């Protein structure tokens, strides 16, 4: 049997055999088996939620000082760092990420998130409210930050461990207990992450379940033992989770899809803007929620810019991510490739010009590859401009002036991210203010872990990132008093 075999799930500090045995996880670059993952039952998912509830009620995790929690989270981060080399290989095998992406964003980023969670754990738990004269007496008090309870962390396929660490890190820092449920497509790294963190924390604080089919996640969302659902994934599933959570008014943090605009003015540093447009192809084959897949280009630049893109796409080396020099890897699964191909067909049917790509690379007989693809002559009302494709597909749309660029960017059901490139700093700021998204990056400003992260509109509900995660994963209680 190739690859690691995980046939157990983690419930209440014990690894127990998954009721449904295992299923194969496929290497998307080769279509060979990358490993085997546990297929647990709905009853086991419910038991994991119940174990997380017991661990929460029993303590000591909930009642520990922030400093004590921080020390344990730091130890977990250090142990994770000690295992990173092996985890890079596993990540490449199960996600198809090229080595640079696997190393930096899929693995090292996890340690960074755990270390930041340790810092977050030491944030003050109380804040005094000064006395106020209310007419009859004095009101004074204190605001206390407390954990929400049991958090179900449900994650997508694209950055499995990184996304999981971005949830369990702050959730644990705030004193919650967690049940982790990764995407069944590539859950092996997440199982390893849970193993490493669980070995350091009190039993039952971290629980791990996995299995094919929506019923495992649904069981967690439904469970009376779960207080909060932290979900990252598609808007369609996010909507179902929000509806299901409404019955018991469970807290939800929903990090959903995007169709972000990359607005390029003719006066910008064109080479840098060009590199950012190309990243839709080279950064995990476009399987990124924040990808700037709607490239809006000012009219005088539109023709030369898209001509250069069309010439560059076919020169990018596409293939097995383990091979040196490969910059475009496969899509994660056959299903994901089918989805992307359907959108490409739709783009052609709706009248956009396929300027490059659009096919399975002829030289690769195995693996779920799609060539870097560019649509020009596209309109904002076309499906390829409105819906999230989640693959290496750019939709390029021209605009006449600033007002039209803003209007096009905002004419979207999504509002996760956005980019603007211009030599005019004031214009950059104006556009950034005007576009209704959770984040706007001017002239290639880097990702900032201290910034709030989340979406407007169908891109989600809530904010995580930096200290904003404290609000996401805590309850606030006011304790007031007055003179007797
Ligand atoms: P997905 O199909 O929505 O699945 C995400 C997770 O939800 C998986 O673990 C899935 O497990 C589970 N799930 C499915 N139905 C469920 C239900 N009814 N109740 C509870 N859980 C359920 O997303 P994906 O295809 O893995 O990931 C791609 C999507 O993630 C894209 O839309 C992308 O934009 C989004 N994403 C957003 C962000 C962000 O920060 N905004 C970051 C990364 C990715 P099963 O497959 O077993 O059902």
- Residue 405 within any structural domain of the chain: yes
As a whole number of angstroms, the distance between CA 449 and CA 133 comes to 40
- Residue 1 within any structural domain of the chain: no
Confidence (pLDDT) at 1: 46
Confidence (pLDDT) at 10: 98
Structure tokens at 422: 């211009």
Mutate to test the pocket of ligand 1, among 9, 226, 230, 233 (most ligand atoms within 8 A of CB): 233
CATH number at residue 79: 3.40.605.10
Confidence check: pLDDT of 482 > 60? yes
Helix (H, G, I), strand (E, B) or coil at 94: helix
Q: What's the structural domain count of the chain?
A: 2
As a whole number of angstroms, the distance between CA 439 and CA 432 comes to 8
- Residue 2 within any structural domain of the chain: no
pLDDT tens digits for range 50-100: 999 999 999 999 999 999 999 999 999 999 999 999 999 999 999 999 999
Q: What is the largest CA-CA distance in the chain?
A: 83
User: Do residues 189 and 281 both lie within one domain?
Assistant: no
- Residue 243 within any structural domain of the chain: yes
User: Do residues 239 and 274 both lie within one domain?
Assistant: no
- Residue 340 within any structural domain of the chain: yes
pLDDT tens digits for range 272-304: 999 999 999 999 999 999 999 999 999 999 999
Contact 63, 104 (CB under 8 A): no
For residue 244, report the distance from its CA to the centre of ligand 1, in Å.
15
User: Do residues 137 and 16 both lie within one domain?
Assistant: yes
- Residue 3 within any structural domain of the chain: no
User: Do residues 252 and 267 both lie within one domain?
Assistant: no
pLDDT tens digits for range 394-449: 999 999 999 999 999 999 999 999 999 999 999 999 999 999 999 999 999 999 99
Q: Which residue has the tokens 């008093």?
A: 481
- Residue 17 within any structural domain of the chain: yes
Structure tokens at 445: 């400003």
User: Do residues 418 and 468 both lie within one domain?
Assistant: no
CATH number at residue 374: 3.40.309.10
Q: How many CB atoms lie within 10 A of CB 98?
A: 27
pLDDT tens digits for range 367-384: 999 999 999 999 999 999
Residue-range definition of the domain harbouring residue 66: 8-256+459-480
Of all residues in the chain, what percent carry a pLDDT higher than 70? Answer: 100
CA angle 239, 182, 192 (to 5 degrees): 160
User: Do residues 231 and 354 both lie within one domain?
Assistant: no
* Buried/exposed code over 434-473 (b: 16+ C-beta within 10 A; e: otherwise): bbebbbbbbbeeeeeeeebbbbbbbbbbbbbbbebbbbbb
User: Do residues 87 and 196 both lie within one domain?
Assistant: yes
Q: What is the mean pLDDT of residues 4-19?
A: 98
Atom of ligand 1 nearest to the CA of 289: 34
User: Do residues 463 and 376 both lie within one domain?
Assistant: no
pLDDT tens digits for range 449-461: 999 999 999 999 9
Please give the model's pTM, rounded to 2 decimal places: 0.98
pLDDT tens digits for range 102-118: 999 999 999 999 999 99
Instruction: Write the DSSP assignment of 159-171 as a string of letters.
Output: SHHHHHHHHHHHH
Confidence check: pLDDT of 219 > 60? yes
- Residue 454 within any structural domain of the chain: no
User: Do residues 186 and 132 both lie within one domain?
Assistant: yes
User: Do residues 302 and 215 both lie within one domain?
Assistant: no
Contact 150, 225 (CB under 8 A): yes
Beta strands in 110-250 (DSSP E): 126-133, 138-147, 150-154, 177-181, 206-208, 228-232
Instruction: Give the catalytic positions in this structure.
Output: 255, 289
Q: Is 241 in the pocket of ligand 1 (CB under 6 A)?
A: yes
Confidence (pLDDT) at 328: 98
Contact 370, 357 (CB under 8 A): yes
User: Do residues 273 and 314 both lie within one domain?
Assistant: yes
For residue 475, report the distance from its CA to the centre of ligand 1, in Å.
26
Atom of ligand 1 nearest to the CA of 184: 47
pLDDT tens digits for range 88-104: 999 999 999 999 999 99
Confidence check: pLDDT of 2 > 80? no
From first CA to last CA, the distance across the chain in angstroms is 73
User: Do residues 124 and 234 both lie within one domain?
Assistant: yes
């Amino acid at each position: 049997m190739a690859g690691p075999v995980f046939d157990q799930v983690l419930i209440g500090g014990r690894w127990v055999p998954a009721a449904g045995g295992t299923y194969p996880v496929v290497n998307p670059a080769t279509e060979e088996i990358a490993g085997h993952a546990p297929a647990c039952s709905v009853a086991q998912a419910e038991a994991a939620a119940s174990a997380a509830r017991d661990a929460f009620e029993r303590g000591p995790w909930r009642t520990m000082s922030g400093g004590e929690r921080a020390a344990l989270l730091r130890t977990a981060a250090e142990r994770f760092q000690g295992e990173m080399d092996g985890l890079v290989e596993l990540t490449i095998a199960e996600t198809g990420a090229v080595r640079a992406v696997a190393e930096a964003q899929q693995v090292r980023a996890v340690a960074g998130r755990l270390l930041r969670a340790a810092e977050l754990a030491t944030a003050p738990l109380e804040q005094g409210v000064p006395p106020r004269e209310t007419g009859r007496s004095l009101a004074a008090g204190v605001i206390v930050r407390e954990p929400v309870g049991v958090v179900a962390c449900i994650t997508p396929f694209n950055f499995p461990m990184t996304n999981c660490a971005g949830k369990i890190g702050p959730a644990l820092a705030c004193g919650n207990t967690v049940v982790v449920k990764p995407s069944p497509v590539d859950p092996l790294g997440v199982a390893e992450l849970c193993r490493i963190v669980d070995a350091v924390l009190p039993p039952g604080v971290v629980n791990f379940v996995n299995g094919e089919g929506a019923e495992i996640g649904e069981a967690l969302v439904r469970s009376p033992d779960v207080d909060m659902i932290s979900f990252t994934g598609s808007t369609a599933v996010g909507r179902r989770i929000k509806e299901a959570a409404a019955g018991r008014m469970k807290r939800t943090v929903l990090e959903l899809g995007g169709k972000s605009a990359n607005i390029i003015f003719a006066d910008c540093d064109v080479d840098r803007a060009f590199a950012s447009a190309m990243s839709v192809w080279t950064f995990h084959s476009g399987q990124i929620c924040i990808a700037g897949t709607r490239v809006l280009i000012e009219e005088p630049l539109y023709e030369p810019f898209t001509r250069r893109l069309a010439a560059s796409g076919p020169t990018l080396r596409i293939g097995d991510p383990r091979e040196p020099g490969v910059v475009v890897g496969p899509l994660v699964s056959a299903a994901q490739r089918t989805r992307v191909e359907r959108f490409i067909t739709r783009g052609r049917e709706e009248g956009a010009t396929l300027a490059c790509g659009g096919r399975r690379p002829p030289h690769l007989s195995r693996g779920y590859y799609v060539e870097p693809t560019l649509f020009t002559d596209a309109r904002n009302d076309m499906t390829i401009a409105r819906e999230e494709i989640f693959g290496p597909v750019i939709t390029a749309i021209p605009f006449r002036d600033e007002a039209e660029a803003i209007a096009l960017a905002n004419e979207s059901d999504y509002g996760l991210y956005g980019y603007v490139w211009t030599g005019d700093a004031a214009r950059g700021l104006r556009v950034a203010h005007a576009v209704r998204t959770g984040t706007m990056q001017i002239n290639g400003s880097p990702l900032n872990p201290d910034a709030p992260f989340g979406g407007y509109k169908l891109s989600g509900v809530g904010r995580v990132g930096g200290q904003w995660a404290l609000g996401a994963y805590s309850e606030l209680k006011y304790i007031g008093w007055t003179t007797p």
